[in-house]
Structure 1
């Protein structure tokens, strides 16, 4: 057997091994979701059995109770609040992070590395450490149980991550294109919206999806700072966990429904997400 054939065979075995490992890792990550989905279609009695019964009868009772068929609260206000807070904060983050990343990458300011470290240092403070001051501020300004308070908080929480991500994406934008736009008389807003943004669209999509996921899943601030009017979907979900009775099937059904917007957004933007997260990885 020639050396070329030996190398080809070795590469094939290596590729097959890596593919098998990738499939096994995917199955391991998918099993909890599949288990949660199956449990959501079981009755509470079947869901609570140990060991679990795979052949138990399927039912939609968990979903009916989640949507208030049994006389419970409707989840729609909470879902709408989560959607408003997540989408509005993500849009604000993009509006603020794009010019900041432009200043730190394409037109770097003095000591721009120190600026990036300052942005990163704001994420080093534990969230619970800032909970009491924020609560007192919200109370004194009559902002408790207000969805726009969550929009401001989510924007400030996601902005450092967005600036870091956008800075790395915008660093890949060719400076010659921007210089050509300047020669043609384009101002900064035009350059950002018509030159930089289309080129960095995969990175913008990746940043938007990550900020949306972080905002949608946030629980601590929403739990403490909201009540009835601005209650979000994760807070609504915790109401299904009680100290009495069975709730496993209902919680699985609620968790699956609340996860669907994030899964749908990720599936819709998967091509842009892969492009954005791999942008600049290959020189």
Structure 2
């Protein structure tokens, strides 16, 4: 009877393999979420309670760390650093997409000769350790008067994210039907119109996934921001390192600052999670 019900389209219970995979997925999710939950809980503890070993789950809660992070109880305000990170991340992401879209179009819809070699050349630029290019970039920024300038980070982040953006968007744009593009060109549409009104709407999930990844990379970047900025162009990750002083590590304050600085990335991920899943799975099944 169960076989007949299944063949007739009746309800089908998951087997032990499906149940096991579900439990593994839940355990993996808990493992990844637990450190974030622990960081959030620690941020509401006092420094004395946060430093206890083992930590106490029943310690009293307080907003003192958040008040100090936002400068309500004295100290530096985080808003200039947050604004700088937002400016650098958003501006570099927009520039990266504007440059990566036509490049990916040339490598997918209208492929140039030896386009695979071009893609591998783009990807090879990411194989150089970031610290290896730190000194030349610092000297260039110093001689050009771009130290402690947020727009220097915008250009740098654009150059850093462009190879991976071209690589990702090439696979996304390769799924765009060529017949639609040819029909638009027959109607007299030029390349900017084709890219903006035909290709971009179809490849929107892939573009959103690329934009989210570029934004995350730019927001989390610390090495170049630490070396190239000072007071004026200080970013949020650089501001976060200021809580590690010669007096020690203030764990509750670091957790509060880390949670607040992570919120824009988490919010962007939740807002674009459907586009991210569609984009990352685009082209996976032929």
Q: Report if TM-score (shorter chain) is over 0.5.
A: yes
Could you tell me how far apart the structure 2 residues matched to 1:143 and 1:174 are?
A: 44
Q: Which of residues 266, 271, 279 is equivalent to 2:282?
A: 279
Q: Which residue of 1 aligns with 2:196?
A: 193
State yes or no: 1:124 paired with 2:127: yes
| Aligned position for 2:29 | 26
Secondary structure of the equivalent of 2:15? helix
Following superposition, the deviation at residue 280 of structure 1 comes to 1.1
**8 Å Cα contact 1:41-1:253 kept in structure 2:** yes
Quote how far apart the aligned CAs of 1:71 are: 1.5
- Match of 2:267, SS state, is helix
Map 1:38-77 → 2, pairs under 5 A: 38-77=41-80
Q: Does 1:165 align with 2:168?
A: yes
**Aligned with 2:142 (options 139, 142, 154):** 139
Aligned pairs for 1:82-231 (under 5 A) are 82-231=85-234
Q: Is the 8 A contact 1:240 1:250 kept in 2?
A: yes
Structure 1 runs, 4 residues or longer, greater than 3 Å off: 1-11
How far 1:70 moved relative to its partner? Answer: 2.5
Find the aligned partners of 1:11 and 1:55 in 2 and give their Cα distance: 40
Q: Give TM-score, length-normalised by structure 2.
A: 0.96
- Going from structure 1 to structure 2, the CA distance change for 1:5 and 1:24 (only over 3 Å counts) comes to farther
Number of aligned residue pairs: 283
Give how far 1:6 is off. Answer: 11
- Hey, what's the Cα distance between the residues in 2 that align with 1:186 and 1:5? 55
Gaps of at least 5 residues in structure 1 are none
> How big is each residue's C-alpha offset from its partner over 1:14-37, in whole Å with a ceiling of 9 and x where there is no partner?
111111110100000000000000
State the distance in 1 between where 2:16 and 2:88 align. Answer: 49
Q: Is 2:83 aligned against 1:80?
A: yes
Q: Which moved more, 1:11-20 or 1:114-123?
A: 11-20
Question: Which segment drifts farther, 5-14 or 26-35?
Answer: 5-14
Report the Cα distance in structure 2 between the residues aligned to 1:279 and 1:198, rounded to whole angstroms.
14
CA contact (8 A) 2:243 2:249 kept: no
For the residue of structure 1 that corresponds to 2:112, the secondary structure is: coil
TM superposition score normalised by structure 1: 0.97
Question: Which range moved further: 90-99 or 67-76?
Answer: 67-76
Report the Cα distance in structure 2 between the residues aligned to 1:4 and 1:150, rounded to whole angstroms. Answer: 64
Helix, strand or coil at the partner of 1:82: helix
| Structure 1 stretch displaced more, 246-255 or 215-224 | 246-255
